[in-house]
Amino acid sequence: SNVSRGGNLVTYNGFGLGWANVLQGRINNYYPKEFRILKDKE
């Protein structure tokens, strides 16, 4: 896809969901730590 590196607004149907940092081969989101979903430790 044609996405520029650096900060980008993630949208769905024109509605802004949040910011993401596009790097080579991956994307990091800028969501607060409270929004993270973590796996349960077994």
Q: How many residues does the chain have?
A: 42
Instruction: Kindly state whether residue 38 falls inside one of the protein's structural domains.
Output: no
Query: How many structural domains compose the chain?
Result: 1
pLDDT of 13 higher than 90: yes
Look at residue 40 and tell me if it is in a domain. Answer: no
Cα(14)–Cα(23) distance, rounded to whole angstroms? 23
Most confident of 14-18, 29-33, 36-40: 14-18
Residues pairing with 2 in the sheet? none
Q: Which positions ≥6 away from 39 have C-beta within 8 Å? A: none
**What's the whole-number mean pLDDT along residues 21-29?**
88
The two structure tokens encoding residue 26: 């991956």
**10 in a domain, yes or no?**
yes
Structural domain including 27 reads 6-33
Question: If you average pLDDT over residues 24-34, what whole number do you get?
Answer: 84
